[in-house]
Amino acid sequence: MNTIRRGLKDILEAERPAIGDLANKTAEEIEQVFDKKYQTLYQQEVEKKLAEEK
Model pLDDT for residues 5-35, shown as the tens digit of each residue: 778 788 888 988 998 899 899 999 999 999 9
- What string of DSSP letters covers the chain? -HHHHHHGGGS-GGGHHHHHHHHHHHHHHHHHHHHHHHHHHHHHHHHHHHHHH-
pLDDT in the model for residue 54: 76
Task: Write phi, then psi, for 12 (nearest 5 degrees).
Answer: -55, 140
pLDDT in the model for residue 42: 98
Contacts of 5 (CB under 8 A, 6+ apart): 20, 23
pLDDT in the model for residue 34: 98
Q: Averaged over 38-53, what is the pLDDT? A: 96
pTM comes to 0.69
